[in-house]
Structure 1
Amino acid sequence: MISLKALSSPRPLPTLRRPNPSSASALRVVASAGMASSAVATPIEHIVLIKVRPESAASGAATAMVSAMEALDTQVPGLAYIHAGPVLRLSSPAAEALGPTHLLHSRYATKPDLAAYATHPAHVAVVQGHVLPNALDTTAVDWVNAAPCACPVAPGNVVRLTLAKAREGVETVQILEAVTAATKVAAEIMGIRVSFGESFSPARAKGYQFGMVAVFNSVEELDAVEGNEKVLEARAGIRSRLAEQVVLDFVVGSAGDASAPANL
């Protein structure tokens, strides 16, 4: 199942162990601990990182691919949200080594909705006609949001994506405990919205077992949180459990060309 997000020319800016499938209920309990919420939102998150061929970016083929992917918003039933676009910046050595230039972020209410998207003729046509000819490499990670609150995304928001592999001997539930603590701190400081969970599509994930998106109102807000001492201290509890992290940032499309905020 290849599901990809839009590609346009990248911006030249600077630059979580294979979990036990039976641990889903445990993850939900962990994610709820210590975080106030009146409801639990559980969208399916679908992320695809794309490394575009340089000639495709130069010729405009990548831009056409982006447009084709964005158009799926009105063609595929069950697609709750979709964003395609360039990576703003690569923020970890693993991200730089992987080298994605573009990404797709989409959301679904259920796993069957994601499966239907993957096989829908419009999506298949975009993959075969636009993505495969223009991509040097792709990486895909899917997860069910284990955070207890909704994580809306609106035009102009800046999103930090983290894909991670656990250290040998570390269980996913331990990572989720650490992530819950760290995101609680960030939410208390600046109201940051997050979605995180265990990947359920290992075949396309290059070994990445955990995904998280954190949504900010601006690059300045993201950078301020990055430099916060309490956040850095909480994050240390996560990094000690990880073998590798892909960390990158992207900007959601402008109000003029993006769909309504995704509140799933």
Structure 2
Amino acid sequence: MICLKALSSPLHLPTLRRLNPSSSALRVAAMSSAAASPAIADPIEHIVLIKVRPEAAASGADAAMVSSLQALSTLVPGLAYIHAGPVLRLRSPAAEALGPTHLLHSRYATKQDLASYAVHPAHVAAVQGHVLPSALDATAVDWVNAAPLPSPVSPGAAVRLTLAKVKEGVEVGKLVEEVGTATKAAGEARGAKVSFGENFSPARAKGYQFGMVAVFNSVEELDAVEGDGKVEEAKAAVRPLLDEVMVLDFVVGPPA
């Protein structure tokens, strides 16, 4: 397992900030569409980071937004897994600068399933009726899992999301290859399961070319991996390829 925490700026320690969502957001903190995501070997990962307007958080519109997204689990065919809720912690300067307060993480068996989800009337209605009115900003990335093993997500899981930009002249495929090698060398540190790959949807990605999620059984297990020797070696192996890294954590709650 490899967590690319703050690799782009070794001289500047990342800010650790625990977000303080509104009480209404906490009530829907991290609902998921099923008791656990299906163990799809090569899932299509879809991540959307949302910066909610302060007035939306104050009015409870953020909670309505989350509920509308969670409802898609029973409305959209081909949607294998969906989680929507607040961000737990921003773990890098780039994450602090972007400032997402909420996120959506969903999975699909094929790219066609993702494409069908994007244009499904229920999804369009949720975006137009809730996301757009509540959001100041949104960032989205998609990738096909290049890790050799699936990374199922269960209630209570803590997930670290990493988005990265490569240095000029470096091919993203090279980063994916090196992360695969480094992850294998690090092993499944503290039981983490990973999914990573090259972003194939650049339009809303703000230049991020690579995505990875590392799934832990709990926040305590995620925190325990900090300073792990094998993980530090893995990070050092890929650091020379990276220009900017954004890292944040979120928690998956009980089924919707």
Matched with 1:67 is 67
CA deviation profile, 1:155-178 (whole Å, cap 9, x unmatched): 000000001100011112321232
Q: Does 1:235 align with 2:235?
A: yes
Secondary structure in 1 matching 2:170: coil
Partners of 2:40 and 2:109 within 8 A in 1: no
In structure 1, the gaps of 5 or more residues are 1-9, 14-38, 259-264
What RMSD in Å do the two structures reach over aligned CA positions?
Answer: 1.7
Matches within 5 A, 1:148-167: 148-167=148-167
User: Which stretch shifts more, 216-225 or 105-114?
Assistant: 216-225
CA deviation profile, 1:202-256 (whole Å, cap 9, x unmatched): 01111100000000011221122121122112111222211001100000112xx
Identity %: 74
Partners of 2:46 and 2:140 within 8 A in 1: yes
Matched with 2:219 is 219
For residues 188 and 74 of structure 1, do their structure 2 counterparts lie closer, same or farther at Cα, with a shift above 3 Å needed? Answer: closer
Secondary structure in 2 matching 1:48: strand
- Counterpart-to-counterpart distance in 2, 1:40 and 1:156: 19
Matched with 2:131 is 131
- Counterpart-to-counterpart distance in 2, 1:188 and 1:214: 10
- Counterpart-to-counterpart distance in 1, 2:83 and 2:188: 27
For residues 188 and 249 of structure 1, do their structure 2 counterparts lie closer, same or farther at Cα, with a shift above 3 Å needed? Answer: closer
Partners of 1:51 and 1:136 within 8 A in 2: yes
Partners of 1:44 and 1:142 within 8 A in 2: yes
For residues 140 and 189 of structure 1, do their structure 2 counterparts lie closer, same or farther at Cα, with a shift above 3 Å needed? Answer: closer
For residues 233 and 112 of structure 1, do their structure 2 counterparts lie closer, same or farther at Cα, with a shift above 3 Å needed? Answer: same
Residue type at the aligned position of 1:110: T
- Counterpart-to-counterpart distance in 2, 1:176 and 1:187: 16
Partners of 1:196 and 1:210 within 8 A in 2: yes
- Counterpart-to-counterpart distance in 2, 1:84 and 1:189: 26
Matched with 1:86 is 86
CA deviation profile, 1:98-148 (whole Å, cap 9, x unmatched): 000000000001111101000000000000000000000000000000111
* 1:12 aligned to which of 20, 25, 36: 20
- Counterpart-to-counterpart distance in 1, 2:159 and 2:72: 21
Partners of 2:51 and 2:137 within 8 A in 1: yes
How many residues align? The count is 222
- Counterpart-to-counterpart distance in 2, 1:185 and 1:155: 28
Matched with 2:171 is 171
Matches within 5 A, 1:183-202: 183-202=183-202
Residue type at the aligned position of 1:136: L
Give the TM-score normalised by the residue count of structure 2.
0.83
- Counterpart-to-counterpart distance in 1, 2:149 and 2:130: 35
Partners of 1:186 and 1:192 within 8 A in 2: no
Matches within 5 A, 1:23-102: 41-102=41-102
Q: CA deviation at 1:40?
A: 8.5
Residue type at the aligned position of 2:107: R
In structure 2, the gaps of 5 or more residues are 1-17, 22-38
- Counterpart-to-counterpart distance in 2, 1:228 and 1:55: 41
Partners of 2:173 and 2:198 within 8 A in 1: no
Give the TM-score normalised by the residue count of structure 1.
0.81
Partners of 1:40 and 1:147 within 8 A in 2: no
- Counterpart-to-counterpart distance in 1, 2:40 and 2:87: 29
